[in-house]
Structure 1
Amino acid sequence: MNWNWSVIYEYMPRLIDGVWVTLELVFLSGLLGLILAVPLALMRASHNRWLRMLPFGYIFFFRGTPLLVQIFLIYYGASQFDAIKESALWPILKEPYWCAIIAFTLNTAAYTAELIRGAIQAIPKGELEAADAFGMSRSLKIRRIVLPRAFGIVLPAYGNELILMLKSSSLASTITLLDITGAARTIIARTYTPLEIFFAAGMLYLLITAIMIGCFRLIEHRLNRYQHYKAPTVEAKKQPIGN
């Protein structure tokens, strides 16, 4: 079988346009999802039983149902209610781009909230007791101790979550968005070269994933740089200052 490499070169600019749409979907929904996940995680880690139960239903629903179903419920379901069509939200909910952003945000917030909750519960109790000994208020302890430590712990898992969201963003093409996959499907419908175009799309996803992994490793190294600190050895301490 002969590959038609020329079609890849010819339509690569259109695939690159899809890259920007994909990046917008992933990073905007990732940022909004992280903002939503923080209070959800704090509620889930609370000692108050009823406060823990409030976000449980939300997290259970979005972790227990497929992302594609959630996209369809928001994109197709909102148009079924006249009250929504007549509301101020309709200019947003009628656009496939914003419906995808909403679905991705709600979905990743549920997963990220559970990751942060686990990270909060993994913080050594001694650090929290030290903050109490210094007389920190609860809000100050959360800002100075809990959240910075939790983000350092959760960062590798959160990087994996964003990479999974990158791959799941291909589902946005089902509601007519021209992301990488949507652009590839449009090109294939014209050229009848599925192998070449999907290969090029796959390489773009792979390149983005590699860049994201590198960026998260740099951020993780910076946030957890205290783990790489090497204390002076006993022999070094015994050496005279002039040596």
Structure 2
Amino acid sequence: MQWFGHFAVTRESTHRKGAKALSQFAFVNRDRCWEELEWKGKHGQSPAVVATKLHYFRDLDVLETVENFLEYVPDFWSSDELANSIKDGEILQIDEEYFVDQFLYLMYEENSKDAWHVVEDFLMDGQFSSLCQHLLIHLDEERLLGFLNSLGKLINPTMQCKELTFPCCWLEVLLPGHYDHISLDDLVFLNCVIAKGRQLWRLMNDEEQHEEWGQMEELLKD
């Protein structure tokens, strides 16, 4: 009930989150669903009263009301009011594990086309660099190398990258020609040399970093 309990207190001008959706829908459709609102007091509140005194909604029995809406007001759950209250995704923070499990169920058990379309739209509309930062960290070494190998088959280096105009160009040049016989350690080390060259040089010349330098020598031998 966390989502639907954010009714305005005294001097607040609006409800928030699911409470806003519930109150808006109830007002617009008061002729057929106002009676489904359950109140904690001895008597209910009329639309005219709570329209001017929003904090009276705090007397609403949220649990009983939501249960009534589930049974008797099914169109609320597909309404614009509810959709607008959840479109920013904040509702997912209430129980992330639950929502992830439900989404995976829709994808793999129900094979829901809508769920797969959401995934496809996310991947197609997102920036490649942002997707990599959020998704690649979840891959183990074997899958990460497999992804890079697949990427190598698709990359067609531009002239700027062939001339190594930008530091990131090494990936576009290296992968297409060597994706099938380069190790993940090689890629990580090369990325370190190119992206963090100065820090690596300081590490190699720091006499106090004997252990790290020894590890670096072993890596270079391999």
Which TM bucket (shorter chain)?
A: under 0.3
* Larger RCO, structures 1/2 (Cα 8 Å, 6+ apart): 1
The structure whose Rg is larger is 2
TM-score, normalising length: structure 2? 0.22
TM-score, normalising length: structure 1? 0.21
Q: Of Structure 1 and Structure 2, which has the larger fraction of its residues in helix?
A: 1
